[in-house]
Amino acid sequence: MHSHTDDHKKRSKPDLSIETDLAEKIRQLQADRLRHAQAITQIDQVLQRVENALTTLKAMTGGKAADGATSQAPVDPAQRPRRHYQKFELTGEESVLEFIRRLGHPSTAEINANWHAEGRTGVANPILARLLKQKKVERELDPNVRGSRYRLSEQSAEFAS
């Protein structure tokens, strides 16, 4: 016959195993929590250093943020200084056409070099594209140069004469 104490002994061994496993899980979770808390503290410290560096950089660059934008409110367009356009004797199209007329078959690089030599900003490529569309110039592929060479079209050559 089973006594009441025998049943209790049989049940208490598995209960101890569950309690031990549970206690071990709790200890492991507490250790994990501590590691995560330490990692969060380290992340916060790094972020604080980054913020300090950005603040210093912003102060050194005269108030500009790292992305180039100002942290101030947007400037009223009426208060913004007006852009001053440079006046040239010839328009961009006239300049490019005249250069092609003088050189005969210049490359894109030569046209852009002349463009800069005249003191113009940017590149002449948009002007070249417009002149091509208007059929005032023709493009010729030249394997010896990077890009293309250009010549006056028949209608531009007749107009120039």
- pLDDT category at 147 given cuts 50, 70, 90 is confident
- For the chain, the maximum distance between any two Cα atoms, rounded to a whole number of angstroms, is 129
At 128, the pLDDT band (50, 70, 90 cuts) reads very high
Crossing angle for the helix pair 125-133 and 92-103, nearest 10 degrees?
80
pTM: 0.47
Sorted by where each begins, the domain ranges of the chain are 1-65, 92-160
User: pLDDT digits over 63-99, tens only?
Assistant: 654 455 555 556 676 777 776 677 888 888 999 999 9
Distance, C-alpha 131 to centroid of its chain: 32
Q: What pLDDT, on the 0 to 100 scale, is given for residue 144?
A: 87
Question: 91 and 99 in contact (C-beta within 8 Å)?
Answer: no
| Mean pLDDT, rounded, of the chain | 81
What is the per-residue pLDDT across 112-127, written as a single tens digit (0 to 9) for each?
999 999 888 889 999 9
CA quadruple 125, 131, 135, 137: dihedral sign = negative
What fold characterizes domain 92-160?
A: Arc Repressor Mutant, subunit A (1.10.10)
CB 160 within 8 A of CB 101: yes
CB 115 within 8 A of CB 105: no
